[in-house]
């Protein structure tokens, strides 16, 4: 039995941990051939080794997705190594510096600029180079990651992150319409409370407090596993979703239904 992505060349960013790692593993289980990228070299290489031991063709290239040159090189290396690029999962995003919390008048401009670069510019640059290849080679599917902070007021996220992720929503929709007639589908997931390292930058106690506060928004009162976010991304990238493009899919335990 073959998987939905048997022998498909797939690029996954932020693949060393969290949703990115879960997405890489999910694509691997379904037969994809993978290029993984992250700035965390040790984590990325460990993930590649894990996938290879399970029989998957997997490669790793360090790339800073806020760098045009790095992303251009990443896509070129993916095409060279895998023979093409059919699917891309653009997962890079984070809050930088002091850009947490609602009162942005007290936060540094460096935190704003850094957060916009990591959480919005990275998606733009990835799509720019991925789409340039896809429209010349029969199309493809892209899934981005936004946040509930793009759709709702989530004060803990901070203004910069909310603005960046709202930009990802509009960029996804814009690309979906612009490139639909050239065979490229572009969709996006909006995760609810999914425990990843980003929650614990301020320490375990603070991270747990934030998670517990945010969990109040879920109708289904539990955390969402990274693999559950990955499952939604895979569906959006699969032929089962062939008529789905420009869609923002909340995987949020019912939060946005309130």
What pLDDT does residue 179 have? 98
* Active-site option among 100, 124, 153, 161: 161
In the chain, domain spans: 9-251
Is 119 in contact with 168 (CB distance < 8 Å)?
Answer: yes
Q: Which residues of the chain have pLDDT under 50?
A: none
What pLDDT does residue 129 have? 98
What pLDDT does residue 61 have? 98
187-225 pLDDT tens trace: 999 999 998 777 766 667 767 787 888 888 899 999 999
Identify whether 100 is a catalytic site residue: no
The class that CATH gives domain 9-251 is alpha beta
Q: Which two tokens stand for residue 122?
A: 């990275």
User: pTM above 0.75?
Assistant: yes
Q: Are strands 184-191 and 248-251 parallel, antiparallel or unpaired?
A: parallel
Is 27 in contact with 16 (CB distance < 8 Å)?
Answer: no
153-166 pLDDT tens trace: 998 889 999 999 99
What pLDDT does residue 202 have? 60
What pLDDT does residue 191 have? 96
**Helices 122-134 and 68-82, axial angle in degrees (round to 10):** 40
């Amino acid at each position: 039995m073959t998987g939905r992505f048997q022998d498909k060349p797939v690029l996954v960013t932020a693949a060393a941990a969290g949703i990115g790692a879960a997405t890489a593993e999910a694509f691997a289980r379904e037969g994809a051939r993978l290029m993984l990228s992250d700035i965390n070299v040790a984590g990325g290489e460990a993930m590649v080794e894990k996938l290879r031991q399970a029989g998957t063709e997997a490669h790793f290239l360090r790339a800073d997705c806020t760098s045009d040159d790095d992303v251009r090189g990443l896509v070129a290396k993916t095409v060279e190594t895998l023979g093409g690029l059919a699917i891309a999962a653009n997962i890079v995003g984070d809050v930088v510096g002091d850009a947490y919390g609602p009162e942005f008048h007290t936060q540094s401009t460096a935190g704003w600029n850094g957060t916009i670069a990591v959480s919005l510019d990275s998606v733009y640059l990835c799509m720019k180079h991925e789409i340039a290849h896809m429209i010349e080679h029969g199309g493809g599917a892209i899934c981005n990651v936004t946040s509930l902070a793009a759709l709702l007021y989530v004060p803990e996220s901070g203004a910069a992150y909310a603005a960046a992720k709202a930009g990802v929503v509009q960029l996804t929709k814009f690309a979906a319409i612009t490139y639909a007639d050239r065979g490229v589908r572009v969709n996006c997931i909006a995760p609810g409370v999914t425990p990843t390292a980003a929650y614990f930058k301020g320490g375990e106690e603070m991270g747990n407090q934030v998670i517990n506060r945010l969990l109040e928004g879920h109708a289904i009162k539990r955390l969402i596993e990274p693999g559950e976010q990955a499952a939604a991304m895979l569906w959006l990238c699969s032929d089962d979703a062939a008529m789905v493009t420009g869609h923002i899919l909340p995987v949020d335990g019912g939060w946005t239904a309130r």
